[in-house]
């Protein structure tokens, strides 16, 4: 029996924003390896016969390394299972899908990417912001608020001068981001929106400016930052909360039995590979 891995986008949080294909794949999965940010309401849609495991890495805290996740996917697929690697938002937007696809290709494992609604688009929709606008912006740039260790930061000057709308993922250090925007030529009066937990019952929105960004309210993570003149087009409001109603889960989500043994073998394999290198 030939296994396969599906890299599936869970969307920003609201189960109603799952694609029809994502829901079908989840219901047919033998094993689901999910990130921390995937909501319990979405995990509740997984087949009752599936093995489910949290392999999340959030805010610098790692329960499992990326290499170990790669080995887990390959091992489960080689065992003939239909494996879902479930990621928040879209797998191809700051989701390390590139690294995982490389690992699956090297191991000759069949895989498929199932796109999801990226949190940047959901955040803009929640705030009533059109990311492109004929009168304000004809381009859109998706950025991360921090570079990977050892990598040089992207030069934001060409992005700012282009007039593109900027959607910044993981904007943890707002003072630093504001300074980078100003140094790149962004005007202090440029409007921006901070959206916290987009599409969830805890969603919150704050409209501010680049100059006032360092003094903005500390909203719960995960947050996104939208910067550009398009932010000023909808009705301005200092903060807004939405109350969404989701069904209560009727079952607990089991973890994969024997995963510790599989992880131990994976780590032993990775140690041996490191020694060979």
Which of 14, 35, 87, 90 is catalytic? The answer is 35
Output the pLDDT for position 243: 47
| Predicted structure pTM score | 0.82
Output the pLDDT for position 237: 40
Reported as a single tens digit per residue, the pLDDT across 146-159 is 766 656 788 999 99
Output the pLDDT for position 239: 43
Tell me the DSSP string of the chain. ---EEEEEE-BSS-GGGS-HHHHHHHHH-SEEEE-TTS-HHHHTTS-TTSEEEE--EETTEESS-HHHHHHHHHHHHHTT-EEEEEESB-TTSSS-HHHHHHHHHHTT--EEEE----HHHHHHHHHT--SSBTTTBS-EEEEESSPPTTPPPP--HHHHHTT-EEEEE----HHHHHHHHHHTT--TT-EEEEEESTTSTT-EEEEEETTTGGGS--PPSSEEEEESGGGGSSPP-SEEE-----PPP-S--PBPTTHHHHHHHHHHHHHHHHHH-
* Segments of the chain scoring below 50 in pLDDT: 235-243
Output the pLDDT for position 253: 61
35 catalytically annotated: yes
Output the pLDDT for position 249: 57
Reported as a single tens digit per residue, the pLDDT across 228-251 is 999 986 544 434 444 455 555 555
Q: All domains of the chain, ordered by start, with CATH? A: 4-117 (3.40.1010.10), 119-241 (3.30.950.10)
27 catalytically annotated: no
Which of 4, 57, 212, 229 is catalytic? The answer is 57
């Amino acid at each position: 029996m030939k296994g396969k891995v599906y890299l599936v986008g869970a969307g920003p949080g609201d189960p109603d924003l799952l694609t029809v294909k994502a829901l079908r794949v989840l219901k047919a999965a033998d094993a689901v390896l999910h990130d921390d940010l995937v909501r319990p309401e979405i995990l509740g849609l997984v087949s009752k016969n599936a093995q489910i495991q949290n392999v999340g890495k959030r805010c610098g805290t790692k329960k499992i390394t990326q290499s170990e996740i790669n080995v887990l996917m390959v091992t489960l697929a080689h065992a003939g299972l239909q494996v879902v690697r479930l990621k928040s938002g879209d797998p191809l937007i700051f989701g390390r899908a590139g690294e995982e696809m490389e690992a699956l290709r090297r191991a000759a494992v069949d895989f498929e990417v199932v796109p999801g609604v990226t949190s940047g688009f959901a955040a803009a929709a929640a705030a009533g912001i059109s990311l492109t606008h004929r009168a304000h912006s004809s381009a859109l740039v998706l950025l991360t608020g921090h570079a990977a260790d050892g990598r040089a930061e992207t030069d934001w000057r060409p992005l700012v001068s282009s007039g593109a709308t900027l959607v910044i993922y993981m904007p943890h250090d707002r003072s630093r981001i504001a300074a980078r925007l100003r140094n790149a030529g962004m005007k202090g009066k440029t409007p921006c929106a901070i959206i916290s937990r987009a599409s969830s019952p805890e969603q919150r929105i704050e409209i501010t400016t680049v100059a006032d960004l360092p003094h903005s309210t500390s909203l719960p993570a995960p947050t996104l930052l939208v910067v550009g003149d398009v932010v000023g087009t909808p009705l301005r409001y200092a903060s807004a909360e939405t109350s969404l109603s989701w069904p209560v889960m009727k079952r607990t989500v089991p973890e994969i039995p024997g995963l510790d043994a599989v992880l131990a073998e994976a780590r032993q394999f990775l140690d041996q590979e490191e020694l060979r290198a």
